[in-house]
Structure 1
Amino acid sequence: MTLHVVQSSGGLGSFHTADFVVRKHGKENVVLLFADTLWEHPDLYRFLGQTSEYLDITPTIVCDGRNPFQVYFDQHFLGNSRLAPCTKELKQKPCRRWLEEYCDPADTILYVGLDAAEERRMPGVVKGWAPWRVEFPLMDDPTWDKEWMKAECVKLGIAIPRMYELGFPHNNRAAASGRVRLSGFSCSASSRSGTPWPSTRSSGSARSTARTCRSSPRP
């Protein structure tokens, strides 16, 4: 029996990828694998919780336990717009540890929510997740772009994530690098628009909507 693991970032692409996989294979052997950086916009947790409820799948959440600034401190690193060690430490490593513990590459397929406009990223993603097989369902149709994804969410009655409304191209921490990289004096879309960024200290209630963890590999 094949296990279908969707790398869930809490954004539009990973949600529609998960929806595609569930429609094709059923929800019984689908895992939504989400790496919590403890530094997301509060609305990401709302969107993750709402879309997980729509898919009727409880997300499997992995967490290093540090936020990006703690990673910077541990690595004696100044956050900047060129390098992102926090992505490796807070997302890739926790997800890989989970995969190594629970998923045999022989009967597991990973899914990543890149669309046709992000095709240049595909080789690196495939290489980075070897030996697991990786598929990119949204690349099959160039019309499945961000505007299409937003429209589909509206049809489903799911509010579009706040990050997109603020001008970011994605909804996860990587897209929110404007916030993280303020330590490197980058300018964020939030600061340009004058919209204050909610404090992560007050995001507990939002995070709790998607905080139920499942440690077992099979749904």
Structure 2
Amino acid sequence: MDSVTRHLTQVKSSLETSIHNLYANIEHKVPENIDLALKSYAHALANTSKDEALSDLASLKITPATVTISLTTVAMVFFLNKLFKSSSSGSKPAPTKKKKKKLTKTQKANKEIQAVLDFVEETYVPQIEEFFEKYSTISPENREYKFKYFEEMLLKELMKLDGIDTAGNDVLRENRKKVIKFIQSYQKKLDQFKSENP
């Protein structure tokens, strides 16, 4: 944050100097009758309401207000572009493309185990809990269908886990075992709930 503040202070001081130099160069080149033109321009600008200015901008009319807004916008965009270009180019080299690292077998297996756990926790666990809560309002045919559905889906996730190669890694094997036990605990809950609620 300090570097941004310092940079803005530098820009402000250089801007003040540039404006002063510009004024000094232009001052003697301005024609004498410019006062009248500037006064009429300023008068037209002062008598333009916000709604009129927006309407004129929308209809692309050239008025003192629209010209002033356009020039101010262009100048601000130019200034901000210069400001951010100079601050970014001076502090950091151009970014180089980073090659994606290939996952090792262990990382890949761990990611797959975690994906199964996340999927079961986010998808089936809330559905099973909701099924338990609303059991009494569900028709007997739908109850049986739901029991079979959850059993099959949990079994499918267990089979996914069984297909993950732990590459002889004890930590991965233990992680997979924990996820298997977690899924099996919900299978047991379903069986127990079914036996208690015929």
Question: TM-score band, normalised by the shorter chain?
Answer: under 0.3
Considering fraction of residues, name the structure with more strand.
1
Of the two structures, which has the highest relative contact order with CA contacts closer than 8 Å and spacing of 6 or more? Answer: 1
Give the TM-score, by structure 2 length. Answer: 0.24
Considering fraction of residues, name the structure with more helix.
2
Structure possessing the higher radius of gyration over alpha carbons? 2
